[in-house]
Every structure is written in structure tokens, then in C-alpha cells.
Structure 1
Amino acid sequence: MATIITIETPTLGDRSYLVHDGSRAFVVDPQRDIDRVTGLAEAEGVHITDVFETHIHNDYVTGGLALAERTGARYHVNADDEVAYQRNPIRDGDTVRVSENLSVRAIATPGHTFTHLAFAVHEGDQAIGVFTGGSLLFGATGRPDLLGEDNTDTLVRHQYSSAQRLAADLPEDAKVLPTHGFGSFCAAGGTSGGDASTIGEEKRINPALNLSEEQWVADTLAGLDAFPAYYAHMGPANQAGPAAPDLAPPAPADRATIAQHIADGDWVVDLRSRTAFADGHVRGTLNIGLDGQFSTYLGWLIPWGTPLTLLGDTPDQVAEAQRELVRIGIDELEGSATGEPSAWTHEELEEFRRATFADLKSVQHHRAVEILDVRRTPEFNDGHIEGASNIPLHQILARMAEVPHGDLWVHCASGYRASIAVSVLAANGHTAVLIDDNFDEHASESGLVITEPRFAQQHD
């Protein structure tokens, strides 16, 4: 009986899969750090014979080519994809026999990209699951706009047809095994939040299988939001054929080196929690904590190619961040330092205040304050504090001139993005209070007035 093992990458909202019959195995959509896959295969006592890519990924650098080279596996990539490496070209309807009782069938499912493939896994004659990549997700689909506005209208209709095809082609008890949809910005609209699904379940809950094409297309296009800027670099990297990453520790950085990097305009990123950062940090450093979507937001914000140094509590924390970064193609680090922040600078440590929405309400009784909401525009439009300005986090560097002056309080949905924003503002000469609190639970509860948008926001 086939065993399907999920390999989670929660900070990118993605999944890879290892499937085996006890002896031979195949992998679908592996992440760049292939040691996770090879280690799992070794622990399972199986040999990887095949690696499949559902599409040329837009949100991470693949480990597929490196894994195939490392293991001697056949590397299956759509024959119509323009790539700079040798692969086993695969097309709609092709079947790959992995073992005597385990086979994989390619199904053309354009929509997320033009050449997207899903892969149905068969045990004997029975389809037991389908690896849907960025096609059919849990309660949603992959977004159709990552290849540019000129292609979106065509791709969104392809996506609808592809979802319909999967539902018609596969049995209701077949497992749906997507790559995206667990916090990934590759999803179009909200996913169901479930941890597993089947074709039958998707027929019941997925709008792509329950609405008319025109209604679904209109709803999908209306719900599209911004996506990370680093996506622009992923497709070319994956077409070129990325090598396995070098995860050797970066060079140690002392106080003088860190100070020089900051003076040079390099990025020096503090990986610690926002609580620790607020209590004391090196002037000019940025706080992008490992306790959130670290690589997504660092990749979204950093001008691509900017030299990067990491600061963390421990070497393990730096190593985890390095692993996160190679997944999005940031391979080169200037250096790193660990331990106490007092060891990273000769200057006095900087601090900033953390507060709650109740604190904000209390302060408003005594003086006027400026509120900066760094959530994305659709979040802001769903409800925001009366009088708040909205500059989404991913636009904060480009719109620094619009940041309000005065007694500035910054919030997001939970505190994570707001802490990044406060650190960016501090590095650019602003002083702000971090509202480290849950917006949905505590903003209204604290007596703050939540209102509809005062003006249409066009920046996204």
C-alpha cells in the first residue's frame, strides 16, 4: 500500500510530498533544501526514482533538479517548459511507472501557469490521489495573475476548466494534495483552512466547482491581492536549473563589521522575537523575526541583491534563517552574529514601546495620535480604526514620505508585521509605538471605532 508523506514548509505556505511503496519512491515539488527529502527517504528505507514538478514555481526556488542529480532519479518537467537543463519531458496523459503497483499520470491543468500539470497517483488501476500543485487547492485555486496582467484573463478561465476537469476525471475518494494554499500568496482567495481533502469534498465546498464560470471568474479577479516582490526572481531561477544550496555557516561579524554594514546601507536583520527586539536592539537594524513568515516578508521588502547580515540568539537560529532564505534564492550572506545584542554594538541599545489597543484608546482621551495600519489594502477595507492611515508593509520603503508625523502608533493584525514596520521606520528616523495586539479580537473590544475606508486606496 502506498504511503504519502507531507513535507511542510509553513513559512512559505507550501507542501512537498514523498510517496513510496516500501521500496521505491517519488517526490513532488521539492523545496530547495533537499536534505529534508533525502533524510526522510533514508529514514523510510526507500530509494527515490522519480521527481515531478507540477509547474515552474513562482514563490520558491525548486530543489527538483538538485534532488534528481543527487539521487539519480528521473526529473519530470512539462515538455513545453523552456528550461536550460536536461529533464524527462512529460505531457498530458503520459504515465510514469514508479514500481510494479505504483504509477503517476500527468493531467494538463493550466491556470496557475500555462504549462501546469497535476499528477494522479495510481495504485494498480485505482487513482488514490492527485498532486494538484497550484491548481485545485483546499476550497480555492491557485492564483492566475502571477504571469502578468496580459495573461490573467486567459489563465483564470483555464484555471476554472482545470478544476472542473480534475473533478470529472478522478474518483470522489481520491485525495487532493496541493503544493500551495497553507498561507502561500500563490492561493487565489481564502482556502478552507483544512489539513486534508478529497475530490468529493472539493465538489461540495470549492467555489470553482460550484459556481458558474462567469461568477467564479468575477469573484476570483475581484479578490486578487498583492503578492511578494521576490516572486519576480523565482521563475527565471527555476528555468535556469538551481543547484543545491550551500548551507555552511556565514562568516562571523564583530561590532565594527556590523556598524560598517549599517553605515553602508546594507541590511542587518535581527531574527529575534519582536518582544526581545523592542527591549533592546542595535540602532539601524531591522526586526524580521523567525516566529512568523520570515522569508516571505524579508524577500518582499529587501531591494534584491542588497548585502545581508543576520543577528540571532543562537547559531541554530541563524542556520534556520539561512535555510529559509535559500528557498527563495538568497544564497549569499555577508555574515552573522549571535548571543546578546550588547555584544553587537559599542553604542547604547535602542528600544521602543509595545502597547495594546486598550492603551491606544486610553491615550486618545488625552492627546491626538497618528495611527498607521500596515495591513494589506483588502484587510484595511474590511474594517479599520477611524482616522487610521494605511500603508501596507510591503510598500513602507517606497512610501516613507507619506508616513504621518507626530505621536505615531503602528499596528497590523497581530503585531508581527507592525514590528517589522516599526523597525524600518526607526532605521529611517521615525519613532513609533508598536501595537502588539490582535486586531480582530481587541480593537473593537477596546472601544476603538472601526469604520469603512475614508478613501479608495489605489496603491496595490
Structure 2
Amino acid sequence: MFFIDTIELEGLGNRHYLAGGPRTAVAVDPPRDIDQVLAAAARRGVRITHVVETHLHNDYVTGGLELARVTGAAYLVPAGARVAFARVPVADGDTVALDAGLELRAVATPGHTPHHTSYVLREQGRPVAVFTGGSLLIGTVGRPDLVEPRLTERLARAQYASAHRLAAELPDGTTVLPTHGFGSFCSSAQAEGDATTIGAEKAANAAFTQDVDAFVAGLLTGLDDTPAYYAHMGPANAGGPAPVDLTPPAVADADEIAARLAAGEWVVDLRNRIAFAEGHVAGSFNFEADGKIATYLAWLIPWGKPVTLLAESAEQLAYAQRELVRVGIDRPAAAATGAPERWASENAPLVSFPRATFADLAERGTDGVVVLDVRRDAERAGGHIAGSVHIPVHEVHRRLGEVPAGTVWVHCAGGMRAAIAASLLDAAGRDVVAVDDGFDAAGEAGLTVVTA
């Protein structure tokens, strides 16, 4: 008998796996904070003998090197990946014996990266699952544009060929276990569903239902913005990530918070957007701890800029730290917990701004105000409020000067990104109203929604 445990990181939209038999196991694409993987192995009572990577990841820092060091496991990395540390290079067709008749077989599946490798888990020679990393996902495939622009179309065609190779070599009932596709920007489209098989993908995935030219054209047309921090993930993974330090940061008092703001550092308030709007330290930014903080803070912050975290509890602070180390923001410069009154000072007082709905905007009318849409290009293409200004949230900080004069009513698709943008504008001294509402409500409220 075999087991497969899934370790899901909802914030980054990834899944990691521990698979094995009665005594030993293999970890697949492990996250930076390896304690989760070690805990899963302890619950199973197994020893991790192998750690495998499907590719050099672009959206998170791996814990593979450290997990192999801690456990003494063999560290398997695709042979084509250029890395600066000792590892076991894996080539197409290589097999690794695991436990109780289990083995892994490497299958070259280039496309997401040139060296991408999937791993077929076989029990007594029979394929039972395939770890597909960023290759074949649920209903889609991994994006091919993260390595080198000149390679994008070639890699898109390779993705198509790799998907067909898996389908040709594996039975329809084989479980497909991707790393990406659950909200990760490494996915070429949003994956739908929680589980899949080779047979299910053959019936529904565009990689199988379209010819190669139509597939490639659709894939390339549908590619969305890439988080800026992705540029730092590949080099970090190739160089060999250092162990994480999740101990609490140094405590900052109100005067230090004010001094860090004055120095141009980022002070990030982790509380929910309602609490932030009601009262926050002037100049601080709002990235909700449970609102994909790793993706959006890492995307927006100038890389390497010191960050101070403000949290309502030690638990919220610890959660945010864990999320951030996964994308290479290793140590906050300082932190404070408690109520915002404890963080404020004469030089950085408490301020607030209003929240509203689309119905409120319709009642007020759009004349004389700036309606700022901070959704991504692809979202806006599906419909936008007539006369609205468009700056995606990840561009707002460096394009503040492009926001027209006047009170800014800022919206996204649901409210979280609008709160980020509103905090950036508020810190810059603009009068803002954060629209905390679903975009579907805009048309229902009577606002003119156009597509063009």
C-alpha cells in the first residue's frame, strides 16, 4: 500500500506532496518552511529518503535543499537545471526505488521550463500517480513565458508535446498531482476543480481538445501579468536557499515606526481592510495577512526594501512571516503587535478613510470623482465602469502621479486589492474611498459597465 499526502499553500496557490509506503517516503517540490513536511512524515512514521524537484521554481523559494540536508535524503533535481550545489541529477527515464514495491520514474516534460521533469509513481510496476509540477495542470498547463521571452512559443509547443507524452504513456486512471494551478501565477489559467486524472484531462484540457497551433495561440494570448518577484525566485533556487528563521522580529515602538516611515521604509499593517480603513498609522500600507500577502507584498515592494510588520496578534505576525519567507522576504526589519493606538505617535498619527459599495458610488455619481480600477488587464477586458481610470494594483505605487486630481474611489474585483491601492494613495496624501464590493454589483447598482 502507498500513501500520498498533500501539503497545500493556499496563499501561493501551490501544492506539495509526501508520498511513500510503510517505512520511507519522497517529498515532491517541498515549500521553504520544511517543518510542515517533517510533521507530515512524523505523523506517518516514515523516513524521508528522497526529495525531488520537478523544476527550478519561479514563484516560491524551495525547501528542497534544506529538507535533504536535515533528513539525509538524496536530493533529485533535473539534470538540465543549472544549480550551484551538490545534487543527484535526474534524466528522462531514471528510476528510484522507494518502499514496498514503489518506485519513481522521471519523465522529461519540458514546457514550463526547458528542464521540467515529471515523476510517475508506480506500485509493483503499475502507474498510480504522476507528479506533474508545472506541466500538466487541472484543466490547463503551466505558463511557458517565465524563462526567456525568445523561448516562449517554443516552450508552449513543448508543453503540448509533454502533455501528449504523459497521456500516451500513462493509463487514463492515473492520478495527476500538479504543484501549480490553484491560484499560482505560474499557471497559464485558473485551474478548476480539486482532483483529476489523465483520462479526465484528455477529455477537457485544451492541450488535448485542440490542435497544437490553436492551443499555442490560445495559451500565448491568455498569459497575464507576471509578479515582479518571480525574477528573484529562480536565482535563489539555483543558488541554494538558506534555512529559514521564523523567530519573532525585533519589537518596534511608536517612535521607531515613525522613524522607519520617515526613512522611506515600508511599514505594513496586516490587519483586515475594515480595521485598517477605520484607523491606521499615517504612511503605512495595508496588506491583509490572509489576503495573499506573499504574492502581493512581494510583487509591489521594491526588492530588498526593509519592511516592518504591524499585526493585531503574535499569531497573525507569525503567519505573515511564514508566508513571506516562502517568497524570499526572510526577516522583517521590525514588528509590533496589539492595537493601532500603540503604534501611533505625533510624527505618525492615526488616520482613516471611508469604505463604500458600488451602490454608494452609483448614488453619489461618478461626475467630479476619479474611479480607479486596479484589476489586471484581462479582468478589465471583461467589463469596466465607463470613464474609469485603469492602473493595475501592482503598478499603482510607481504610477501615483498618473492618478488624476480629486477624490479617488478605488475598486478591484472584490475589495482586497482595492484596499492595498487605497492605502498606497492614502499614504501619498490623496483623498480615497475604498470600494469594498464585488464587481458584479457595479452593473446591478446602475453604473455603466462597458467592454472595449
TM-score (ref. length: structure 1): 0.97
**Structure 1 CA distance for aligned equivalents of residues 272 and 405 of structure 2:** 27
Equivalent position of 1:403 in the other structure: 403
Contact 1:375/1:393 (<8 A) preserved: yes
Asked whether 1:92 is paired with 2:92, we answer yes
Mapped to 1, the partners of 2:104 and 2:234 lie a distance apart of 25
Residue in 2 that maps onto 1:385: 385
SS in 1 for 2:368: coil
For residues 297 and 148 of structure 2, the distance between their equivalents in structure 1, rounded to whole angstroms, comes to: 22
C-alpha displacement of 1:94:
0.3
| Distance of 2:98 and 2:285 partners within structure 1 | 48
SS of the residue corresponding to residue 141 of structure 1 reads coil
Counterparts of 1:128-167 in structure 2 under 5 Å?
128-167=128-167
* 2:360 corresponds to 1:359: yes
Letter in 1 for 2:422: V
Secondary structure, counterpart of 2:190 in structure 1? coil
Which residue is 2:300 aligned to? 301
| 1:29-53 deviation line (CA, Å, top 9, x unaligned) | 0000000100111111111000110
User: 3-state SS of the aligned residue for 1:262?
Assistant: helix
Deviation at 1:189, TM superposition (A): 2.1
SS at match of 1:92: coil
Query: What is the CA-CA distance between 1:271 and the residue it aligns to?
Result: 0.3
Q: Which residue of 2 aligns with 1:56?
A: 56
Q: Distance in 2 between matches of 1:391 and 1:108?
A: 40
Q: Secondary structure at the match of 1:112?
A: coil
The aligned residue for residue 456 of structure 1 is none
The Cα shift of 1:291 comes to: 2.1
Provide the C-alpha distance between the structure 2 equivalents of 1:404 and 1:435, rounded to a whole number of angstroms. 18
Equivalent residues of 1:34, 1:244 under 8 A apart? no
Partner of 2:339: 340
Deviation of residue 345 (structure 1)?
A: 1.2
Question: 1:332 Cα shift?
Answer: 2.2
Give the deviation of 1:153 after TM superposition.
Answer: 1.3
Contact 2:182/2:190, CA 8 A, preserved across alignment? no
Q: CA deviation at 1:164?
A: 0.8
CA distance in 1, matches of 2:190, 2:294: 21
Tell me if structure 2 keeps the 8 A contact 1:255–1:344. yes
Q: Report if the CA contact (8 A) 1:112-1:135 is conserved.
A: yes
CA RMSD of aligned residues (A): 0.9
2:12 match: 12
1:379-405 per-position Cα deviation (integer Å, ceiling 9, x unaligned): 111100111111000111221111121
Does residue 1:328 correspond to 2:327, yes or no? yes
In structure 2, C-alpha distance between the alignment counterparts of 1:108 and 1:306, rounded to whole Å: 38
The structure 1 segments of at least 4 consecutive aligned residues displaced by more than 2 Å after TM superposition are: none
> Is this contact kept in 1: 2:245–2:331, CA < 8 A?
no
Question: Per-residue CA shift, 1:72-126, capped at 9, x if unaligned?
Answer: 1010001121111111111000000012311000000000000000000001111
Q: Is the 8 A contact 2:79 2:91 kept in 1?
A: yes
Give the letter aligned to residue 405 of structure 1: A
SS at match of 2:32: coil
- Point out where structure 2 has 5 or more consecutive residues left out of the alignment: none
Shift of 1:378: 1.0
Residue 276 of structure 2 corresponds to 277
Return the offset for 1:148. 2.4
SS state of the match for residue 188, structure 1? coil
Cα distance between partner residues in 2 of 1:97 and 1:180? 26
**Mapped partners of 2:418, 2:231: distance in 1:** 25
Name structure 1 gaps, 5 residues minimum. Answer: 454-460
Q: Which string of whole-angstrom CA distances, capped at 9 and with x for unpartnered residues, describes residues 382-436 of structure 1?
A: 1001111110001112211111211210000000000000001111121110000
The equivalent of 2:256 in structure 1 is 257
**8 Å contact kept, 2:202–2:208:** yes
Task: Read off the aligned partner of 1:190 and give its amino acid letter.
Answer: Q
Does the 8 Å contact 1:118/1:130 carry over to 2?
A: yes
- Percentage of identical aligned residues: 54
Paired residues, number: 450
Give the aligned residue type for 2:42: E
| CA displacement at 1:338 relative to structure 2 | 0.2
SS at match of 2:105: strand
Q: Indicate conservation of the 8 Å contact 2:181/2:189, yes or no.
A: no
- Distance, in Å, in 2 between the alignment partners of 1:362 and 1:215 is 45
Deviation at 1:129, TM superposition (A): 0.5
> 2: distance between equivalents of 1:371 and 1:319?
36
Q: Secondary structure at the match of 1:36?
A: helix
Mapped contact 2:370–2:407 kept (Cα < 8 A): yes
Q: Is the 8 A contact 2:21 2:100 kept in 1?
A: no
- Distance of 2:107 and 2:57 partners within structure 1: 17
Report the TM-score, using the length of structure 2 for normalisation: 0.98
Residue 256 to residue 226, structure 1, CA distance change in 2 (3 Å): same
SS at match of 2:443: coil
| Alpha-carbon distance in structure 2 between the residues aligned to 1:199 and 1:271 | 41
Give distance in 2, aligned partners of 1:63 and 1:33: 6
Alpha-carbon offset, residue 368 of structure 1: 2.7
Number of the residue aligned with 1:218: 217
Q: Is contact 1:65–1:75 with CA below 8 Å preserved after alignment?
A: yes
Classify the secondary structure of the residue corresponding to 1:4. strand
